[in-house]
Amino acid sequence: MTPLPNFTMLGAGPIILMLHGALGGSRAFAPQVESYASLGYRAVAWDMPGYGHSVPIEPYSFKGLAQSCIALAESLLQSRGDPSLILLGHDIGGMVAQEVVARRPELVNRLILCGTLAAAPAGEAAPEASQDMAQLAQTLMPQRIGPGALPEGVQLASYCMAGVHAATYRKALEAMAGFDRRANLPLIHVPTLLVAGEYDRQTPAPAMREMAAAIPGGRCMTLRGIGHFQNLEAPEAFDGAVLDFLGRTAGSAEATLH
């Protein structure tokens, strides 16, 4: 039996499960957990295996990460009595979301992918297992954000980054290097929104627009002046895009539920 990962949850209503990036954690979605819960959603943010208080998995692969996410999704859905949920993933979380949709499409009624790709992004140097992640955050953060980033959001992103175990980050990068779900994009048949950052060099907006074009009915929105951490750099604009999408596709979700 797959152990459930650690997660935070707030609110009641349709479930929106949020999957953080390789340099994040459940706290990286703290603004969204609060805002979505206040608007009638059951907002859930997990700690991916090896992050926060979630136990690591071996081997550290997308199959295992997807199984962990599926176990959590099934537990959440059983507690509410719904057949499916909204899945939102950032960075490697967006890749896990794609893996879940490929393996268990019936669990997802709407999909939101931000700052992610369908295949491995350009490689980046993996840290040493003993490397100080706080120092790495100081180096990486200026390269990852856009000129319009909210300072408080950047501070939270840096805090989350500093709390990641270097060994776990290394394993996440190794897993990402072999990821490729491009062939599955045309098979995604739920309403899908992609959110890109204008200044995101890790997952460039043009590449995300290509992804959206490959997904039937897929739509891509680019946040101006923003880099890789869209939900923290511009939480109001990000939430506005997500909530508008959820409002416009509520009928599709109802059809899925019934």
Q: Above pLDDT 90, what percent of the chain?
A: 85
Average pLDDT over residues 11-29: 97
Task: Give the model confidence (pLDDT) of 78-124 as tens digits.
Answer: 988 899 999 999 999 999 999 999 999 999 999 999 999 999 876 55
Return the domain boundaries, the chain: 7-257
pLDDT at 130: 57
Average pLDDT over residues 35-63: 96
Quote the pTM value: 0.94
Residue 258 has pLDDT above 50, yes or no: no
Task: Give the model confidence (pLDDT) of 181-234 as tens digits.
Answer: 999 999 999 999 999 999 999 999 999 999 999 999 999 999 999 999 999 999
Task: Give the model confidence (pLDDT) of 91-103 as tens digits.
Answer: 999 999 999 999 9
Task: Please report, for residues 15, 76, 134, 184, 199, the alpha-carbon distance to residue 160 in angstroms, rounded to integers and kept in the order given.
Answer: 24, 25, 9, 31, 21
pLDDT at 221: 97
Domain 7-257 has CATH 3.40.50.1370: no
Average pLDDT over residues 11-30: 97
